Chain A
Amino acid sequence: MELINIRHLLFFLFSFLMIGSSVGVILHKNPVKAAMFLVVFFVGLAATYALLGAEVLATIQILVYVGAIMVLFLFVIMLIAVRDENFDPLGNNIGRFLTMLFVGLTFAGALLVYQSSSNIQDEIPVTDKYSKMLDYAKDYRIEGNAEVLSVELFQNYVLPFEVASVILLVAVIGSIIIAKRNRRYQE
């Protein structure tokens, strides 16, 4: 058991899943299949969050993204966009190809710069419990991610929390108004 490190193995497995499904999202012609690949991407991402120790955020990710946002995407796709898209392969449009090459090279360059200049010994402690990492852990009986998030969120970040709920309310009202049919001007 010394040769196989189960956490690294799981991390590689999940990252393989994520990269594969994200390539599937951008390359697939049928929008419904692209949306299903994005669902697989979100599930892989939630698994990675759980591996890194944030299990409540993993479940919230599945609840919010997979359970609500992707259902909304699939509804809109099914009712509006059922045609297969015919996009030319990358080689035909030279401007697009050059743009994507440039973006890819920028990111590869940024990654190389980071790798050469940083302290490569930085590692994420995956098995430390929150009760060992934080100094206010004893005051609040912190046992896991849920307690940590709620202590931080409702003590130090109450105002952004309320603002976020106002943003969501505005989004709900706005999307209903934008998508509504104007009966006065059409009928």
Chain B
Amino acid sequence: MPELAWYQTEVFWTLIKIALIFFILITGAAYYTLMERKWAGYFQDRYGPNRAGFWGIFQPLADGVKFLTKQETIPKNVDVVLFLIAPIISVTTAVMLWAVIPFTPEIAVSPETSELLGKDTFILQVTNVNSGILYIFAISSLAVYGIMLAGWSSNNKYSLMGSVRSTAQMISYELSLGMSVISVIIMTGHLDMVKIIEAQSAGWFLFTIPGFLAFWIFLIAIFAETNRLPFDLAEAESELVVGFHTEYGAFKFALFFIAEYMNMITLSFLIAILFLGGWNVPGFIAPLVSGAWWGPLVGVGFFVLKALFFVFFFVWVRWSLPRFRYDQLMNLGWKYLLPGSLIQIFVAGLYAYWR
């Protein structure tokens, strides 16, 4: 086997992809905060922030400087180790989810590029584990720890109550989240993210019967997973002081904030992968771009557009709907969504049997 140079090994290119995705993600989450405030303003018939630069472009930068230069406080009787680890866990699990999200299929590259890469296919995904979907669920169940430890370690009754409520809500809706994806897995037959998208080249899973039911359950569950209106009783400003991150100041609060927006972006991309076809282009465009070298980029463009619609949908729902009360929330999760997802697993099984 010929000896590979240092720039041809897989480790090097994986590190390049990790750095690229990390920078895009942080910039995306920061500008998502700006877009939320702008869209909130337009929904409420006012301008959002437009002082910091033209159209408020430098607002996230200003927010970042504010968070970094504020005084870091640690309250007196808290458990310091757990207090400081909680935002780290939130941000780490929010970023780790991006290790298996694919942007392009496995593209065969030209011989000159394959000399550079060391092998002859290229995939814009950090790593391709065989069980991509299971990895996503495992990491999103780790995200619960950030919230739980934050509420417990701040020596504050309101934080504890807010975090216990938020944790119970997240673990209840994780069940419906996982089970509604089972019908997608039944229809593809693989756990691999790339194969799920390839199986939708004949038609999105949204337009099949079990996929349609699963889509609505998944959509409601991702609002509950990110603690976002209409399910944000645990962190609403007027309800429980601020919830689990009451005692967190400057940069630690910024980490929680960024982690929440990153989770929203990740789940929007996930719903675009699972139900809306990922990087598959519409049928009339496919023959035009199949041969060219920029063909996969068109796929990436469509993928990002589909995900951006759901990113907008998150903000749209937040500023339009009232909030659920906590017992109504748990009622919905256990008594309506969970039997609903069981029924649509059954429907998916029948559908797969009769096709």
Residues of A within 8 A of B (CB): 32-33, 36, 39, 55-56, 59-60, 62-63, 66-68, 71, 74-75, 78-79, 143-146
* A-contact bits for B130-167, CB 8 A (1 contact / 0 none): 11001101110110110011001000000010001001
Question: A36-B82, A146-B131 are known contacts. Are A59 and B148 too (CB-CB below 8 A)?
Answer: no
B74 close to A (CB within 8 Å): no
Q: Which of A63, A75, A144 contacts B138 (CB 8 A)?
A: A63
Cβ–Cβ contact B141 & A62, under 8 A: yes
* A-contact bits for B71-100, CB 8 A (1 contact / 0 none): 000000001011000000000000000000
* Nearest B-chain residue to A30, judged by Cβ: B79
Cβ–Cβ contact A145 & B82, under 8 A: no
Chain B interface residue count: which class?
A: 20 to 34
Write out the residue numbers on chain B whose beta carbons fall within 8 Å of the beta carbon of A66: 138, 141-142
Could you name 29 residue pairs across A and B whose Cβ atoms are closer than 8 Å? A32-B79, A32-B152, A36-B149, A55-B131, A56-B134, A59-B131, A59-B134, A59-B135, A60-B134, A62-B139, A62-B142, A63-B137, A63-B138, A63-B141, A66-B138, A66-B142, A67-B137, A67-B144, A67-B174, A68-B141, A68-B171, A71-B145, A75-B167, A78-B148, A78-B160, A79-B164, A143-B130, A144-B130, A145-B130
Write out the residue numbers on chain B whose beta carbons fall within 8 Å of the beta carbon of A56: 130-131, 134, 191
Bound together, the chains give a CA A79 to CA B168 distance in angstroms of 13
* Nearest B-chain residue to A82, judged by Cβ: B152
Write out the residue numbers on chain A whose beta carbons fall within 8 Å of the beta carbon of B145: 39, 71
CB distance from A57 to the nearest CB of B (A): 10
Cβ–Cβ contact A78 & B130, under 8 A: no
Q: Which of A36, A59, A71, A143 contacts B167 (CB 8 A)?
A: A71
* Nearest B-chain residue to A46, judged by Cβ: B138
Q: Which of B129, B131, B142 contacts A67 (CB 8 A)?
A: B142
Bound together, the chains give a CA A56 to CA B131 distance in angstroms of 6
Cβ–Cβ contact B191 & A146, under 8 A: yes
Write out the residue numbers on chain B whose beta carbons fall within 8 Å of the beta carbon of A145: 130-131
CB distance from B132 to the nearest CB of A (A): 10
Write out the residue numbers on chain A whose beta carbons fall within 8 Å of the beta carbon of B160: 78
CB distance from B218 to the nearest CB of A (A): 17
Question: A55-B129, A60-B134, A146-B131 are known contacts. Are A78 and B152 too (CB-CB below 8 A)?
Answer: yes
Bound together, the chains give a CA A78 to CA B191 distance in angstroms of 36
* Nearest B-chain residue to A143, judged by Cβ: B130
Cβ–Cβ contact A67 & B134, under 8 A: no
Bound together, the chains give a CA A75 to CA B81 distance in angstroms of 19
Write out the residue numbers on chain A whose beta carbons fall within 8 Å of the beta carbon of B82: 32-33, 36
Question: A56-B131, A67-B144, A75-B164 are known contacts. Are A62 and B191 too (CB-CB below 8 A)?
Answer: no
